[in-house]
Amino acid sequence: MNRPPVNSLNTEHLEQLHRALVRLENEKCRGMILSSSSPTVFSAGLDIREMYKPELEKARKFWRTLQDMWLKLYSTPYPTVAAIHGHAPAGGCLLALSCEYRVIVPNVKIGLNETQLGIVAPQWFQDCMRNVIGERQAEKALIAGHMFNTEQALQVGLVDEVAADKAACIARAEAFLASQANLPLLARKTVKLGFRNSTLSRLMTGREADTKIFIEYIFQPKVQKGIELYLQSLSKKSG
Ligand SMILES: CC/C=C\C/C=C\C/C=C\C/C=C/C(=O)SCCNC(=O)CCNC(=O)[C@H](O)C(C)(C)COP(=O)(O)OP(=O)(O)OC[C@H]1O[C@@H](n2cnc3c(N)ncnc32)[C@H](O)[C@@H]1OP(=O)(O)O
């Protein structure tokens, strides 16, 4: 990902990610490392400005593009690793959770923090967390909007490994891909999709309902007010 300053996910960036995933699949890619050009941020999650006073059709397109990108990422036939050498809140955490393996560096915060922002992580975000860390830990983390530090993320199983820095993180991600290289492709892909199918189907069969929930939620005046205040707090911080 290379969308400075924080790889926030707007419609255009989501489309780029989706196109890249389609291209990798068409080219029979043998593995992907999802990484960031930023030295300190993996992805800041969804671009909050896409949800602030949006036009209805733009908001719908944004959400459908996110759904398209995630459906592709979660179901790739090739192995995927997230090299998390920077913070990964909310949608950034979703990207990492959607890969098959996660390597993180020290001093990083990762989690589905939506509750803390007064919004709600959609069901499929929640499913991804549950699938990785289990029901009890996911429920606790999501209710609190907890951001895990590196040590906590390792302890709870949100990530698989800690590496010292970006170079080591990429090297460990490559080692994971190498460990998968000799597995028969069809068997590997079939098992992966078997595990992920119910989560994928839940969104695929309820896409329109999911979009409606998103739209109805973000268009509420009190949610808009919360987003406005959060955007102000973010820009005051950097100002
Ligand atoms: C049942 C279901 C019901 C309803 C569902 C409906 C709604 C739910 C919808 C969606 C779920 C939401 C998912 C999300 O991903 S929301 C996004 C959450 N992300 C965050 O909270 C992260 C916020 N950012 C940060 O914490 C920090 O920026 C970060 C730690 C990532 C990096 O810190 P750093 O100090 O390096 O940079 P900053 O100075 O903070 O930021 C630089 C610059 O970037 C802007 N910025 C940051 N994050 C975002 C963002 N997510 N979107 C847009 N812009 C962002 C920040 O304002 C600064 O801008 P500027 O002031 O212009 O320099």
Q: Spell out where 112-230 has E strands.
A: 148-149, 161-162
The residue type of 219 is F
Place 204 in a pLDDT band, splitting at 50, 70 and 90. Answer: very high
Q: Are strands 101-104 and 32-34 parallel, antiparallel or unpaired?
A: unpaired
- Which amino acid residue places its CA nearest to atom 11 of ligand 1? 121
Residues 6 or more apart whose CB falls under 8 angstroms from that of 195 comprise 131
Q: Evaluate whether 211 touches 64 at the Cβ level (below 8 Å).
A: yes
User: Per-residue pLDDT for 185 more than 80?
Assistant: yes
User: Which residues are the active-site residues?
Assistant: 46, 91, 113-114
From residue 14, how far is each of 192, 204, 221, 224, 235 by CA, in Å? 23, 18, 26, 22, 23
**CA Rg, the chain, in Å?**
17
Q: Which of ligand 1's atoms lies nearest the C-alpha of 237?
A: 39
Q: How confident is the model at residue 238 (pLDDT cuts 50, 70, 90)?
A: low
Is 0.90 surpassed by the pTM of this model? yes
Position 10 pLDDT exceeds 80: yes
What sign results for the dihedral spanned by CA atoms 176, 88, 146, 217? Answer: negative
| Crossing angle between the packed helical segments 207-218 and 221-238, to the nearest 10 degrees | 70
Mean pLDDT of 17-21: 98
Say yes or no to pLDDT of 136 above 70.
Answer: yes
pLDDT number for residue 235: 85
- For residue 227, the CA-to-ligand 1 centroid distance in Å is 10
Instruction: Report whether residue 48 contacts ligand 1, using a CB cutoff of 6 Å.
Output: yes
**Please, what are the domains in the chain?**
11-238 (3.90.226.10)
The DSSP bridge pattern shows strands 109-111 and 148-149 to be antiparallel
Give the distance (Å) from ligand 1 centre to CA of residue 229. Answer: 12
pLDDT for 236 beyond 90: no
How large a percentage of the chain has pLDDT more than 70? 99
Mean pLDDT in residue range 160-188: 97
Closest by Cα among 88, 109, 101 to 45: 88
Residue among 1, 3, 6 to mutate when testing ligand 1 (max atoms within 8 A of CB): 6
- Would the CB of 31 count as within 6 Å of ligand 1? no
Q: State the average pLDDT over residues 101-119.
A: 95
Q: What is the DSSP letter of 40?
A: S
For the cut 70, the answer to whether the pLDDT of residue 152 exceeds it is yes
| ipTM score for this prediction | 0.96
**What's the DSSP call for residue 147?**
P
Least confident of 94-103, 112-121, 152-161, 201-210: 112-121
Question: Distance of CA 97 to CAs 10, 107, 158, Å?
Answer: 19, 18, 8
Substitution candidate for ligand 1 out of 37, 211, 234, 238 with most atoms within 8 A of CB:
234
